[in-house]
Amino acid sequence: MSTTYLSLFSLIMAVTALAAVYLWYERRRIAPAEIAVIATLAALAGLGRVPFAAVPGLQPTTFLVLVCGHVFGPVAGFLVGSTAAFTSNLFLGQGPWTPWQMLAWGLAGVCGGVIFRKKKMFPRWFFAGMGFIWGFVFGWIMNFWHWITFVYPLTIQSFIATILAGIGFDFMHAMSNALFMVFLGPEAAEILRRFKRRLSFYPISEKTVQGKKED
């Protein structure tokens, strides 16, 4: 049954994609404060999963990842989302779901970073809609591996059946994303923007000061 190779192949592809992004991040010049901010945001996003772990789907993680992506850009959004998934699973338990969660939340960060990136605005209802959609997209990405590994035949019908099996959790996730976005979205975006502005201030070097004096 050749379809079973798809499972390992997809798992390898997911891990390779994650490794490629982290390797690319390694080669960028990045200020220590930026690493600390990304780590803190990832911890905050991951923390949201721990107290709400008993209620599947209800957590502010996707909401925070989307807002981080919107404010700090797609790369930071991806790193916040994927690191949040990995670190929170150190407390909740790693499993075959870890690479898919890392990828799904990472892509949510990229999505938040790509849309409305240039405009310094936060359309609350648009982002609420995006959070709602991401509640379902996240579920589909998570179900994908289960579908190709444990279900046969791999048809649209069987994929829809796999999605429908978890639709309740996905709906809960989508609703919580939309609600967090409506009640906290603009404020969270404003707070993050303020810290982003602070990140872009660097200590003035002596050379710059001397240059100014000469002028």
Partner 1 sequence: MLIFQEKDLFFQALHPAATLAYLAVIVAGAVTLCHPLFLLALFIPVFTALAASGGLDDWFQKARFFFALIAMLALINILINRLGGTVLLYGPVLPGLGRITVTLETLVFALVMGFRLLTVFTAFMLYNRTVNPDRALSMFAKLFPRSALLVALATKTIPYLLRKLQSAGEIAQCRGANFHTGSLFTRIKNRLPLIRVLLISSLEDSFNIGESIQARAYGSGSRTSYFRHRWRFGDTLIFIASFFALSIIILSLGRGWGGYSFYPYLEKIIISPHQAAVLPALFVMLMIPALLAWGWNKWNFLRWKI
- For partner 1, give the closer residue by CB, 111 or 148: 148
Q: Report yes or no: 38 and 81 within 8 Å, Cβ to Cβ.
A: no
Minimum gap (Å) between residue 202 Cβ and partner 1: 11
96 lines the binding site for partner 1 (CB under 8 A): yes
The closest alpha carbon to 165, from 134, 138, 143, belongs to 143
Q: Report yes or no: 131 and 174 within 8 Å, Cβ to Cβ.
A: yes
210 lines the binding site for partner 1 (CB under 8 A): no
Q: How far is CA 99 from the centre of its chain?
A: 12
- Taking CB under 8 A as the criterion, which residues in 12-41 touch partner 1? 22-23, 25-26, 30-41
- For partner 1, give the closer residue by CB, 26 or 206: 26
**Binding range to partner 1, per CB under 8 A, among 93-101, 103-111, 113-121, 204-212:** 93-101
Sign (positive or negative) of CA dihedral 162, 165, 169, 174:
positive
H-run or E-run covering 59:
none
155 lines the binding site for partner 1 (CB under 8 A): yes
The closest alpha carbon to 112, from 41, 49, 164, 57, belongs to 41
Half-sphere exposure of 21 (CA within 13 A, CB side): 22
Q: Report yes or no: 163 and 140 within 8 Å, Cβ to Cβ.
A: yes
Looking at residue 153, what DSSP letter applies?
A: S
- For partner 1, give the closer residue by CB, 13 or 50: 50
Binding-residue pattern over the window 113 to 142 for partner 1, x denoting contact by CB under 8 A: ------------------------------
**Binding range to partner 1, per CB under 8 A, among 91-99, 111-119, 128-136, 205-213:** 91-99
The closest alpha carbon to 58, from 131, 141, 163, 113, belongs to 131
Q: With CB under 8 A as the rule, give the number of residues binding partner 1.
A: 65
Residues that bind partner 1 in the complex, under the rule CB under 8 A: 1, 4-5, 7-8, 11, 22-23, 25-26, 30-44, 46-47, 50-51, 60, 79, 83-84, 86-88, 90-96, 146, 149-153, 155, 157-158, 161-162, 165, 179-180, 183-184, 187-188, 191-192, 195, 198
